[in-house]
Structure 1
Amino acid sequence: GRRRGVLSDYTFAVQHEGKLLNIGKAYSGLTDLEVSQMTEFFKQHTIQDYGRFRLVEPVVIIEVAFNGIQKSNRHSSGYALRFPRIVRIRSDKTVAEIDTLETVRKVLQKNIGDETYPPAR
Structure 2
Amino acid sequence: LWLALEVPVTYFVFDLLYLDGDELLDRPLAERRERLEVLLRDASSEHVQLTPAKWANTAEEFEAAFREALERGNEGLMIKDPQAPYLPGTRGRRWLKWKQPLATLDVVVTAVEYGHGKRRGLLSDYTFAVRAGDRFVDVGKAYSGLTDDEIRQLTDFFLRHTIQDLGFRRRVEPKVVLEVAFNNIQRSSRHESGYALRFPRIVRLRLDKRPEEVDTIERVEEIFRRQFERGPQ
Fold match, TM over 0.5? yes
**Would you say 1:43 and 2:162 are equivalent positions?**
no
| Equivalence for 2:141 | 25
Partner Cα separation in structure 2 for residue 47 and residue 15 of structure 1: 19
Partner Cα separation in structure 1 for residue 178 and residue 227 of structure 2: 24
Shift of residue 16, structure 1, vs aligned partner? 0.5
**SS of 2:168's equivalent?**
coil
**SS of 2:118's equivalent?**
coil
**SS of 1:62's equivalent?**
strand
**Would you say 1:101 and 2:226 are equivalent positions?**
no
Larger RCO: Structure 1 or Structure 2 (Cα < 8 Å, ≥ 6 residues apart)? 1
Structure 1: which 4+ aligned runs deviate by more than 6 Å?
none
**Would you say 1:75 and 2:191 are equivalent positions?**
yes
Which entry has the higher C-alpha Rg, 1 or 2?
2
Shift of residue 96, structure 1, vs aligned partner? 1.1
**Would you say 1:9 and 2:125 are equivalent positions?**
yes
Structure 2: where are the runs of 5+ without partners?
1-116
Percentage identity across paired residues of the two chains: 58
Q: Tell me the number of residue pairs that the alignment of Structure 1 and Structure 2 aligns.
A: 115
The one-letter code matched in structure 2 to 1:19 is: R
Shift of residue 51, structure 1, vs aligned partner? 0.3
Shift of residue 88, structure 1, vs aligned partner? 0.5
The one-letter code matched in structure 2 to 1:35 is: I
Shift of residue 112, structure 1, vs aligned partner? 1.4
TM-score with structure 2 setting the length:
0.48
After superposition, the CA RMSD in angstroms is 1.3
The one-letter code matched in structure 1 to 2:208 is: D
Partner Cα separation in structure 2 for residue 52 and residue 14 of structure 1: 23
**Would you say 1:59 and 2:166 are equivalent positions?**
no
Shift of residue 24, structure 1, vs aligned partner? 0.2
